[in-house]
């Protein structure tokens, strides 16, 4: 059989041999996501229920989850999901799951030099197609997992930018930084890195405009001034270059 691919960094999908599998409704996809997050380990039915329903689940939740698992088995050609005394386990190679591959690439980058590390981080960030699990929805277990993945993504963008700046490649840092700053305008460390990248490619006016926009947004929405790192970056932009 061709290699299976499971995707969580965006909509919850699965495919094999370039063909997208029909996984059914979103709640069934939430069950799949919960199984994939604990890949190759038994997942109790109660945890699957917690991944599917926000708030109090219906009285039929256990039976509904069992039905979703049965249909996932059929969608995944039978052999992937097994019943255990404590619940269900989905069997797969971690490299078949984009979220696990993402974390593996991030870990590999930590021990690599800047050139290889930047390449690994760019590969990891390239796995993202949208918000984890397709955006808001599902129960608390998936909500917390989505937050953790998003924080890991932001940390990866920051680390990639720092490496690219050290390598003298600020132009490659701009696109990923702009994307996250647009979504997270109060992440001052990322704003500071984007200002630095703009400055190093000669786009001083954009760097200063970004600082002013961020300063005003922090004041209007949070009632605070820029922190020391952002202020220091701004001051460096105004200092005469040697």
Domains of the chain: 4-93 (1.10.10.10), 170-242 (1.25.40.10)
Q: Are the C-beta atoms of residues 157 and 177 closer than 8 Å to each other? A: yes
Q: Are the C-beta atoms of residues 229 and 188 closer than 8 Å to each other? A: yes
Q: What is the mean pLDDT of residues 178-205?
A: 96
pLDDT of 77 strictly over 90: no
Which pLDDT belongs to residue 80? 84
9-13, 53-57, 78-82, 221-225: range with lowest mean pLDDT: 78-82
151: burial class by Cβ within 10 Å (0-12, 13-18, 19+)?
exposed
What is the C-alpha separation between 52 and 57, in angstroms, rounded?
8
The pTM of this model reads 0.90
Mean pLDDT score of the chain, rounded to an integer? 92
The token pair at 35 is 């199984």
pLDDT per position as a tens digit, 24-75: 999 999 999 999 999 999 999 999 998 888 878 899 999 999 999 999 998 8
Task: Quickly tell me which residue has 């940390």 as its tokens.
Answer: 155
pLDDT of 203 strictly over 90: yes
Q: What is the DSSP letter of 79?
A: S
SS3 content of the chain, % helix, strand, coil (to 5): 60, 10, 30
Q: Which residues contact 104 (CB under 8 A, 6 or more apart)?
A: 94, 95
Phi, psi angles (nearest 5°) of residue 225: -95, 160
Which pLDDT belongs to residue 3? 80
């Amino acid at each position: 059989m061709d290699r299976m691919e499971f995707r969580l960094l965006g909509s919850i999908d699965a495919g094999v041999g370039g063909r997208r599998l029909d996984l059914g409704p979103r709640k069934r996809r939430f069950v799949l996501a919960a199984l994939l997050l604990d890949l190759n380990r038994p997942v109790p039915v109660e945890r699957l229920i917690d991944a599917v329903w926000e708030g109090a689940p219906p009285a039929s939740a256990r039976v509904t989850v069992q039905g979703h698992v049965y249909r996932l088995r059929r969608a995944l050609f039978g052999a992937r999901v097994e019943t255990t005394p404590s619940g269900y386990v989905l069997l797969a190679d971690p490299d078949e799951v984009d979220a696990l591959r993402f974390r593996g690439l991030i870990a590999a980058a930590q021990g690599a030099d800047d050139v290889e590390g930047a390449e690994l981080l760019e590969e990891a960030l390239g796995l993202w197609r949208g918000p984890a699990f397709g955006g808001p929805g599902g129960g608390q277990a998936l909500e917390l997992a989505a937050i953790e993945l998003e924080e890991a993504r932001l940390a990866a963008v920051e680390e990639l930018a720092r490496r690219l700046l050290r390598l003298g490649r600020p132009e490659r840092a701009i696109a990923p930084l702009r994307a996250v700053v647009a979504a997270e305008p109060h992440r001052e460390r990322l704003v500071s890195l984007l200002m630095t990248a703009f400055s190093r490619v000669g786009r001083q006016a954009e760097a200063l405009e970004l600082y002013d926009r961020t300063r005003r947004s922090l004041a209007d929405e949070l009632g605070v001034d820029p922190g020391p790192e952002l202020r220091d970056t701004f001051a460096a932009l105004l200092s005469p270059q040697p």
